[in-house]
Chain A
Amino acid sequence: MNYEAVIGLEVHVQLKTASKMFTRVAAGYGAPPNTLTDAVVLALPGALPVLNKEALDKIIKAGLMLGCTIAPVCKWDRKNYFYPDSPKNYQISQYDQPICLAGSVEIELPGVARNVMGEHKQIPLTRIHLEEDVGKLTHEAHDSLVDFNRAGTPLMEIVSEPAMHSADEAFAFLTSLRTTMVQGGISDCDMEKGQLRCDANISIRPVGETKLGVKVELKNLNSISYVRDGIALEIRRQTAVLTGGGSIVQETRQYDGEAGTSVAMRSKEMAHDYRYFPDPDLLPVQVDAAWQATIRATIPELPFDRQRRFIAQYQLPYTITAVLVPERDLGDFFEQVAQLCSHPQAAANWLVNDLRRELASGKIALTESKIRPMHIAALVDLVEQGEISMTAAKEVFNDMFQTGEAPAAIVIRKNLKQSTDSGALEQWVQSAIAANPRAVAEFLAGKEQAINAVKGAVMKASQGKANPKLVDELVRRQLLAVKP
């Protein structure tokens, strides 16, 4: 029997805010343990939460980017449970009235070839709500240590509908979500720092069946490739169980990415009663249309929209846009260059190939580099106008990357201008024809590529500065002139 997988994801994204969600202590990663704390974070007697407006702004922005409906009132609930990483032993969260409802994440599946755009789909979302992150536990031989630096960091929980059917779709979902959240300035989404965390609910059912199978929650998918591999493993595991005549147990499983295995954690019978109730320390917040409009004005173009526009507006190849678009800075940079020059495709090539390579090898960010959009535009124009050769252009680029000087200045400093002085060229062409009688004879006899030897000799004589197009033209004209 053939089975179909049904997958829903629960994604936690830490919001990038200056301070924590309910107090003015800085939010951040990597500080010495328990230094980002205060009376509120540590839940000392008498401490009270006060909402960080930036956190609400960011989740509303995220919701608007994903096409969610924003609730008119933002309400807070307490989720009660005891755990040592939770200072209050309740988490301030949103239970029955999440701030964002519905919406969707657009995904792209792998194409038939690398240079072909894959199929696009909208994966619907159930809800997005805001809650506080907990601290971090470290278990040692005899003790457990807890660091509350992370506790109270604003955390967004994004819940998808069970609408994905393969590990590839889940992978694409998370990739797209991450790109969108990073480009919106919502989060840095660094999975190693725990800024993006993912749990998956997975079930399988015979193809054609509409009822959902028994679901298994898969945890600890803490890298994007673990999401794909872990889900693929779980689908294989469930398929094997059903094929072998067994039945799926509703449970939570922990994925071990290094070993490529998963183990059962706890069964659903031990489900918590979280005793949710409205937090009496916080008043509901009205989110009116004006507030939404202010935030909406700050939303950047969505990555897939930008990709489609780059292809249509600049006639860029898919593969180029697939590199330009995921990095917002690079895409922005490209658009600035495109405004300044008439050859956006050539400009895009410089960015995708040369600029990215140099940035990577120098390990610097685009914003830190000395290259400005007008430099790339000028370089492209120099090449297109035949002022410098491509070889010279590469040299100009490397110089420019180091010095930040304008290309024209570098061309002069390095004397890289292509020669278009036809008087000198005529002489070099005549000398080259005279010096290569055999190639001339072969060319005249109909062997087209023999002309290259003549042209090469001209280029050599010009020390590479002759304009190749002009050389080709002159060589052909003179050869035809000598043809009997």
Chain B
Amino acid sequence: MSASVIFKSVAELSALLAAKSISACELMQAFAARTTAVEGRVHAFNSRDEAGALSLAAASDARRAAGQTRGPLDGIPIGFKDVIAVEGQPLTASSKMLANFISPYDATVTTKLKMAGAIPWGRLNLDEFAMGSSTENSAFGATANPWDLTRVPGGSSGGSAAAVAAGEMPVALGSDTGGSIRQPAAFCGLVGLKPTYGLVSRYGLAAFASSLDQIGTLTRTVGDAAQMLKIIAGHDARDSTSLSTVMPDYSAALPKKSRPWRIGVPKEFFGPGLDAEIGAAVQQALAFYRSAGAEITEVSLPLTAEYAIAVYYLIATAEASSNLARYDGIRYGHRARTTTDAISIYAQSRAEGFGEEVKRRIILGTHVLSSGYYDAYYLRAQKVRALIRGEFMSVFQNCDVLLSPTTPTAAFKIGEKSADPLAMYLNDIYTIGVNLAGLPGISLPCGFTTGGLPIGLQIIGQPFGEAEMLTIAHTYEQGHAWHTKYPNL
């Protein structure tokens, strides 16, 4: 049974459940068994509650038997990056600081998924507080890439990507601040969707950088991404930055094609540093679109190429230094044992509770906001950010979407870049601009390296242009079989 379901898409599983070919309990048992079998090698989970998930599966079966099913996600197990709140479950952010923290409330996305009948299946590993691109910066150990266990799954949503890629679940939630969904999706051969900033509520997502963070999904297919987005998107009165916008039916929009697409190719994203095999795979994807009737034009994003990473590390660290101030050992979280006063509670608890990368970014962000440096760093970074956004918007005057590689290289070795933060930061060079401009982006599989590692194709949409972006991605997926491959574990 298990081998036959663990690599199926949500849509396929949904159909099996609807046909009563399989019960939600059987499905849950299959994923639990698979997880038990591979988790020792993959380490995608920080924690999981198998009994709780099974009892929710039983409830789903009971609803179905009573003719009260809640729709396509009813009975589908779904993983949560360990920064998204699920009531009564741990929320560690892969940090010693929150090692024993249990969330007393549900994130808005969690509430929506529960209403849809989905089953929360485990807390997934990440780079501590979503700071990193490899999931090596976790207080609970690194996650391995299921395609090559000596390599990283990407990050920071590496646990989410690895868990889906390894067949431990069909779908997982991640969060994307600078590429943290798309890069792991590319490394693990999955579809990673980062929605427009403001489309999905951030309420219940432990913040890294508030103006950049966005919850999204890791799935096997574009269709599943559309299905998930339909459920998690929408205005939320609990998130002031969530926007009211008319939401198209992302799933229903998929097969439609109104006119020839205009696809922009940012030339700077194909320059030095791009792995040749990845460049070739993306060129083939472009050829596919051209043959499908799309109009391909080269565009230029010089400011993004030159400044996006610098701007990102100024703004993201500034916001993070303030967002993470709440982890102080006073009300919850790690508190050092040998403290004498408030100052020593802060200093020692934070010294013990945070890892190196988190400390590096808090210090950088604190400096960036300091009196005398604010104008030169933070304020200037915000101005350049506005220019970067303007650059994207002006390119979008003549393009429906932009197309590029998701990452300059395929998955790298565990430990390969961990001593060199700057090399690690550069891995996000193609994805970061999307967050700075608040745009939607998707990564989907577009081939493999000769070494058998997945390659990701990034499609960048216009603000709230998810429907068109998904349609374009879906068209590619329909013409290829990359998404049907899975790793041998």
Q: How far is the CB of B256 from chain A (nearest CB, A)?
A: 33
Docked complex Cα distance between A39 and B326 (Å)? 12
> Cβ of A44 and Cβ of B103 under 8 Å apart?
yes
Tell which of A25-33, A59-67, A77-85 binds the partner.
Answer: A77-85
Instruction: Report the minimal beta-carbon distance from B321 to chain A, rounded to whole angstroms.
Output: 8
CB <8 Å contact, A48 and B371: no
B85 touching A46 by the CB < 8 A rule?
A: yes
Residues of chain B within 8 A of A84, CB atoms compared: 328, 330, 342, 345
Interface mask (B342-378 → A, CB under 8 Å = 1, otherwise 0): 1101100000000000000000001001110010001
B305-327 CB mask vs A (1 if < 8 Å, else 0) is: 00000000000001101100110
Q: Are A45 and B91 in contact (CB under 8 A)?
A: yes
Whole-angstrom distance from the CB of A427 to the nearest CB of chain B? 84
Using known A-B contacts A39-B104, A44-B103, A87-B326, determine if residue A281 contacts B240 with beta carbons closer than 8 Å: yes
Given contacts A146-B330, A281-B240, contact A45 B83 (CB under 8 A): yes
Q: Which B-chain residue is minimally distant from A51 (CB atoms)?
A: B240
Q: 1/0 contact trace for B198-219 toward A, CB 8 Å?
A: 0000111111011100000000
A263 at the B interface (CB under 8 A): no
Q: Which residues of B contact A277 (CB under 8 A)?
A: 318, 322, 369, 374, 378
Bound CA–CA A82/B211 (angstroms): 22
Is the pair B239, A48 in contact by a Cβ cutoff of 8 Å? yes
Q: Is B237 engaged at the interface, CB distance under 8 Å to the other chain?
A: yes
Min CB distance A408 to B, Å, is 57
Expressed in whole angstroms, the Cα–Cα distance for A275 and B363 within the complex equals 13
When each residue 248-284 of chain A gets 1 if its CB lies under 8 Å from chain B and 0 otherwise, what string results? 0000000000000000000000000101110011110
B337 an interface residue at 8 Å Cβ cutoff? no
Q: Of B239, B326, B366, B370, which is in contact with the most chain A CB atoms at under 10 Å from its CB?
A: B326
> Within residues 155 to 209 of chain B, which ones have a CB less than 8 A from any CB in chain A?
202-207, 209
Residue in B107, B211, B346, B371 whose beta carbon sits within 8 Å of that of A280 in the complex: B211
- Is B98's beta carbon under 8 Å from chain A? yes
Q: How far is the CB of A144 from chain B (nearest CB, A)?
A: 7
Partner of A273, one of B321, B326, B330, B371: B371
B371 touching A275, Cβ below 8 Å:
yes
Interface centre among A42, A84, A276, by most B CB within 10 Å? A84
- Set of chain B residues within 8 Å of A83, measured between Cβ atoms: 342
Q: Which of A51, A83, A280 has the most CB of B within 10 A?
A: A280
Any A CB within 8 A of the CB of B396: no
- Give the distance to chain A from B368, nearest Cβ to Cβ, in Å: 9
Q: Does A299 contact B (CB under 8 A)?
A: no
Contact of B237 among A50, A87, A280 (CB under 8 A): A50
Which residues of A (12-54) have their CB < 8 Å from a CB of B?
Answer: 39, 42-51
A90 at the B interface (CB under 8 A): yes
Residues of B within 8 A of A282 (CB): 240-241
The complex places the Cα of A80 from the Cα of B378 at a distance, in Å, of 15
Q: How far, in Å, is A200 (CB) from chain B's closest CB?
A: 25
A313 to chain B, nearest CB (A): 48
Q: Is the CB of B210 within 8 A of A280?
A: yes
Q: B28 within 8 Å of A by Cβ?
A: no
A275 to B366, CA, bound (A): 8
Min CB gap B210→A, angstroms: 4
A88 within 8 A of B: yes
Q: In the complex where A48-B240, A281-B210 touch, is A275 in contact with B104 (Cβ < 8 A)?
A: no
Contact call A44/B332, Cβ cutoff below 8 A = yes
CB-based nearest A residue for B243? A283
Determine how close the nearest CB of chain A comes to the CB of B206; give it in whole angstroms. Answer: 4
Cα distance A46–B129 when bound, in Å? 11
Across the interface, which residues of B come within 8 angstroms of A46, CB to CB? 83-85, 91, 103, 105, 107, 202-207
Q: Are B331's CB and A82's CB within 8 A?
A: no
* Residues of the B chain whose Cβ atoms lie less than 8 Å from the Cβ of A97: none
Contacts of B107 in A (CB 8 A): 46
**Chain A residues positioned under 8 Å from B112 (CB to CB):** none
Determine whether A89 belongs to the interface, using a CB cutoff of 8 Å to chain B. yes
CA distance A283 to B91 in the complex (A): 27
Q: In the complex the two chains form, is B239's CB within 8 Å of A44's CB?
A: no
Smallest distance from the beta carbon of A283 to chain B beta carbons, Å?
A: 6
Contact for A89 among B91, B210, B325, CB less than 8 A: B325
Complexed CA–CA distance, A426 and B321 (Å): 97
Knowing A273-B370, A275-B369, A277-B369 are in contact, say whether A283-B240 is a contact too (CB < 8 A).
yes
Q: Judge whether B467 is part of the interface by a CB distance below 8 angstroms.
A: no
B238 partner, pick from A48, A144, A283, beta carbons under 8 A: A48
Q: Is B101 an interface residue (CB 8 A)?
A: yes
On chain B, which size bracket covers the interface?
35 or more
- Chain B nearest CB, measured from A19 CB (Å): 13
Task: Give chain A nearest CB distance to B313 CB in angstroms.
Answer: 15
Does B331 contact A42, Cβ atoms closer than 8 Å? yes
Closest to A278 in B: B382
Q: Are A82 and B378 in contact (CB under 8 A)?
A: no
Q: Which of A44, A89, A146, A283 has most chain B Cβ within 10 Å? A: A44
Contact of B103 among A45, A50, A281 (CB under 8 A): A45
Closest to B210 in A: A280
- What is the CB-to-nearest-CB distance from B349 to chain A, in angstroms, rounded to a whole number? 11
Given contacts A84-B342, A87-B326, A275-B369, contact A45 B237 (CB under 8 A): no
| Complex contacts, B93 vs chain A, CB 8 Å | 45
Q: Which residues of B contact A87 (CB under 8 A)?
A: 326, 331
Nearest B-chain residue to A272, judged by Cβ: B371
Q: Which residues of B contact A88 (CB under 8 A)?
A: 325-326
In the complex, what residues of B have CB within 8 A of residue A273's CB? 370-371
Q: Considering the chains assembled together, what is the distance between the CA atoms of A45 and B209 in angstroms?
A: 13
Q: Are A82 and B346 in contact (CB under 8 A)?
A: yes
* Nearest Cβ on chain B to A364's Cβ, whole angstroms: 41
Question: Are B325 and A48 neighbours in the complex by a CB distance under 8 Å?
Answer: no
CA distance A208 to B154 in the complex (A): 71
CA of A78 to CA of B322, assembled, Å: 8
Q: Which one of A48, A49, A88 has the greatest number of beta carbons of chain B within 10 Å?
A: A48
Are A90 and B322 closer than 8 Å at their CB atoms?
Answer: yes
- Do B202 and A48 touch across chains, with their CB atoms under 8 A apart? yes
Q: Return the chain B residue nearest A45 by Cβ.
A: B206
Query: From B203, which residue of chain A is reached at the shortest CB distance?
Result: A48
Please determine whether A82 and B325 come into contact, CB atoms closer than 8 angstroms: yes
A50-B238 in contact (CB<8A): yes
Bound form: Cα–Cα A282–B242 in Å: 10
Query: In the complex, how many angstroms separate the beta carbon of B11 from the nearest chain A beta carbon?
Result: 30
The contact of A43 among B210, B326, B374, by CB within 8 Å, is B326
In the assembled complex, the Cα of A45 lies from the Cα of B103 at a distance in Å of 8
Closest to A82 in B: B346
Query: Contact check: which of B204, B241, B321, B366 meets A281 at CB < 8 Å?
Result: B241
A383 to B452, CA, bound (A): 106
Tell me the smallest distance from the CB of B366 to a CB of chain A, in Å. Answer: 7
Bound complex: CA A146 to CA B332 (Å): 13
B331 touches A275 (CB 8 A): no
Q: How distant is the Cα of A449 from the Cα of B371 in the complex, in angstroms?
A: 85
Cα–Cα, bound, A443→B326 (Å): 92
Interface flags, B221-253, vs A, CB<8A=1, else 0 = 000000000000000011111000000000000
Chain A residues whose C-beta falls within 8 Å of the C-beta of B209 in the assembled complex? 280
- Complex A-B, nearest 10 residue pairs according to Cβ-Cβ distance, in ascending order: A89-B325, A45-B206, A275-B369, A280-B210, A280-B211, A46-B204, A43-B326, A273-B371, A46-B85, A88-B326
24 example contacts (A-B, Cβ-Cβ < 8 A) are as follows: A44-B332, A45-B206, A46-B84, A46-B103, A46-B205, A50-B237, A50-B238, A51-B240, A80-B322, A80-B325, A82-B343, A82-B346, A84-B328, A273-B371, A275-B366, A275-B369, A275-B371, A277-B318, A277-B322, A280-B210, A280-B211, A280-B241, A281-B207, A282-B241
Q: Which A residues are closer than 8 A to B by beta carbons?
A: 39, 42-51, 78, 80, 82-84, 87-90, 144, 146, 273, 275-277, 280-283
Besides A46-B202, A51-B240, A80-B325, 5 new A-B residue pairs in contact (Cβ under 8 A), listed by A number: A45-B326, A87-B331, A275-B369, A281-B207, A281-B240
